Amino acid sequence: MPGDEGKSGKVYNDRVSEQGVMTVMQSSGSLSNTFSLVVRPDKASMQTAEKLRRQLEEQGIGEDAVQPDYVIVVGGDGTFLYAIHQYMETLSRHAFIGVHTGTLGFFMDYMDTELEDFVSDLSEGRLEMEPHALMEARAGGKTLYAVNEVRIENPVRTQNITVYLNGEKFEDFRGSGLCLCTQLGSSAYNRSLGGAVLQKGLGAFEMAEIAGIHHSRFRSLGVPFVMSDTTAVRFSSEDFSGAVLGVDSDVLDMKDMQTVEVARSESKILHIARGKKITDFRRLERLF
Ligand code: NAP
Ligand code: MN
C-alpha cells in the first residue's frame, strides 16, 4: 500500500528531526513496515538475505524496493555505503540497518548468526534511530554527498591545495592530497592516514594529509585537524589536473575543477537503526 508507506516514512522523519534520537515504531502493528534488501553479491550474503526475506515476510513485513521503511544491508561496511548512495534521493525516508557476513563493521551490529534477534528487534519495534548529517560537497557544478569522506588525491604529480576555513585562508598544502571525513568516516580511510577515530556524537570534521611535503622551506600543519562540523571548508588550486575527487566509493576527474566546497548537509540526514545493546567503545575495540 503505497499511501501507508509514504505516511510511515514521514512520521518517523518528523520525530527524528524534533528529538534527534528516538525509538521508532513502538507498536509495529499500527504502521505497515516495509523493507528492501541490498546484498553483497557473494554466496554467503545471498543465502543470508534469502533466509532474512522469508523470516521478515513471516512477520508480515513486506518487500518494497522503492519506498522501504528499512533498507536492510547484507554484506560489509562497503555494501552499507553503496546502499546509502542507492537511496540518496529519498535518504531521510528510510532507516538503514545491516547484517554482517564478513568481518565486523562499524555500520552493522548484527552477525549472520543472529537473524532471529534481528527480525524480532525489527518487528517488535526495539530499534533506535541514530541520525547522522552527511557531508555536502560542491565541485565542478555538481553537488555530491559523502557519508565517510571527501578527498582530493593526485597520484600523478605534487598537488598544491590552498585550504580555507570559514572563508579564511588556513594553509597552503603540497603533497598527494587531503582527506576530510565525518565522524562516521573517521574509522575508514582517515584512520589509515593516521587520523584519530572520533567518538559518536561529536559533531566534527577531520582533515588529514595524504603524504604531505614538509621541509625547511615548506610546511603545512602536518597532523590531522579536528574541527567543528559547522565549519565551511574550501579547497582551491589553479591546477587540479591528474587529481581525482573521491566521495566515499565514487571518484571524479578534477581536470576542470578549481574549487571544492564542503559543509555539513542540512538536507541529507542518514538514519542508522540500531537494535543491539552494544556500546560504541565495544564496537571499536572488537575490530582490532
Ligand atoms: P571498500 O573495499 O568497500 O572499503 C574499504 C574498506 O573500508 C573495507 O574494509 C570497508 O569495510 C571499510 N570501511 C568502509 N567504511 C568504513 C567506516 N566508516 N569505518 C570503518 N571501515 C570502513 O572500498 P570502496 O567501496 O572503494 O570505498 C569505500 C570506503 O573505503 C571509502 O569511503 C574509504 O573510507 C575507504 N577506503 C579506505 C582506504 C584505506 O583505508 N586505505 C582506501 C580506499 C578506500 P568492509 O570490509 O566491511 O566493507
Ligand atoms: Mn567492502
Provide the CATH number for the domain around residue 74.
3.40.50.10330
We report the CATH number of the domain holding residue 173 as 2.60.200.30
- Say if residue 60 is in the same domain as residue 180: no
- The pLDDT value recorded for residue 31 is 52
- Say if residue 62 is in the same domain as residue 181: no
Query: Which ligand lies nearest the alpha carbon of 186?
Result: 1
Structural domain tally of the chain?
A: 2
- Say if residue 141 is in the same domain as residue 218: yes
- The pLDDT value recorded for residue 278 is 81
Distance, CA 80 to ligand 2 centroid (Å)? 9
Residues facing residue 152 across a β-bridge? 178, 245
- The pLDDT value recorded for residue 32 is 64
- Say if residue 140 is in the same domain as residue 237: yes
Domain that holds residue 201: 134-267
pLDDT in 10s for each residue of the chain, 288 residues: 333 333 333 333 333 333 333 333 333 333 568 999 999 999 999 999 999 999 999 998 999 999 999 999 999 999 999 999 999 999 999 999 999 997 767 898 899 899 999 999 999 989 999 999 999 999 999 999 999 999 999 999 999 999 999 999 999 999 999 999 999 999 999 999 999 999 999 999 999 999 999 999 999 999 999 999 999 999 999 999 999 999 999 999 999 999 999 999 999 999 999 987 788 888 888 877
The reply to whether 189 falls in a domain is yes
- Say if residue 149 is in the same domain as residue 173: yes
Distance, CA 81 to ligand 1 centroid (Å)? 9
Show which of 91, 126, 161 is a domain's final residue: 126
- Say if residue 65 is in the same domain as residue 142: no
- Say if residue 170 is in the same domain as residue 259: yes
- The pLDDT value recorded for residue 3 is 33
Distance, CA 151 to ligand 1 centroid (Å)? 13
The reply to whether 274 falls in a domain is no
Q: Is 249's C-beta closer than 6 angstroms to any atom of ligand 1?
A: yes
Q: Is 106's C-beta closer than 6 angstroms to any atom of ligand 1?
A: yes
- Say if residue 204 is in the same domain as residue 235: yes
- Say if residue 147 is in the same domain as residue 43: no
Question: Which residue, 124, 101, 103, is CA-closest to 49?
Answer: 101
| Residue 213, Cβ density class (10 Å: 0-12 exposed, 13-18 middle, ≥19 buried) | middle
- Say if residue 173 is in the same domain as residue 262: yes
Q: Which residue numbers are catalytic? A: 77
The reply to whether 223 falls in a domain is yes
Contact 149, 246 (CB under 8 A): yes
